[in-house]
Amino acid sequence: MLQIGPYMLPNRVALAPMAGVTDLPFRRLCAQMGAGLVVAEMISSNASLRDSRKTLLRSRHDDEIQPRLVQIAGSDPAAMAAAAVYNVAQGAQIIDINMGCPAKKVCRRAAGSALLADESLVADILNAVVQAVDVPVTLKIRTGSSPGARNGVSIAGIAQDAGIAALAVHGRTRACAFRGAAEYDTIAAIVAATTIPVFANGDIDSPASAARVIAQTNAAGVMIGRAAQGRPWLCGQIAAHLATGVTPPEPTLEEQLAIMQSHVTALHEFYGDFMGLRIARKHVSWYLQHSTDYLPRRRAFNSLESAAAQLHYLRQMTGEHLQQNYPQKEIAA
């Protein structure tokens, strides 16, 4: 099994932190469906933002799977250490440091994956955070700044020396963003050069691809990002496959509709009707992205202007499906 500090994880599959995606309702859902570790959305180390609505929502962990893992981002060692201390006091059981985000607005502040170009600063940040808190500290990185400057192995060595408890590595550089295919040779080299657990990340979208990446890299686990959008059951499928070699079937359409309705209800409750219905739009779009009537369904759902109307629409979808497949039943939409 995979262990981070004192925490023994139930399996080898983690849900990646994704800003605007891995909020508390989605983390709860993925954990319920088999993710072994879920990571909260990135929180800025800027102390002036701690009371903002966005940060307060991202900092909630009620009824969440343990260990509660909070990711922080920034470029000042003292501010990052202070952010770690603050979030531990708020209930974080593991602190994750973001050095993997390629977003321009993050990198412009010399944070995220922009830090990989400055190994001295990386060391200062990691040492400051590890020494500031008594909980495990983990790190998420990319393979380097650009294809010509893949220094992931060097960064991993700095991380291990600083006392980082686990490492997640996305198989692209900062310059690559999400373009092209992820490469796993650098991840394999990082695994070979370190003794801490390493999660391989990037382009893992099925149990079979997860098994291939594990075989190629010898990573301790995998971290699933964009492929889990609209598929909260994917982490659980992958975990079962890695443990047994058998892949559980996809939820039936009826089950997927029930999951979607439950998820949208949780979003309304978490964010309130106004913000919740807007966030529900992107999640429902991901759920429906492979359906034959995706575009008309998406347009219809996105035109709805109340939480009640969204839930009514999803109930109607369920009713239509059941009438088509079980025409003898009377379905109340």
Positions annotated as catalytic residues are 101
CB 178 within 8 A of CB 144: no
What is the 3-class SS of 189-207, one letter each residue?
HHHHHCCCCEEEECCCCCH
CB 68 within 8 A of CB 37: no
Of 35, 98, 22, residue with least CA distance to 61: 22
CB 168 within 8 A of CB 139: yes
Of 283, 280, 277, residue with least CA distance to 305: 277
Report CA 78 to chain centroid distance, whole Å: 26
Q: State whether residue 71 is helix, strand or coil.
A: strand
Of 192, 194, 144, residue with least CA distance to 166: 194
CB 226 within 8 A of CB 15: no
User: What are 295's strand-pairing partners?
Assistant: none
Q: In one letter, which amino acid is 220?
A: A
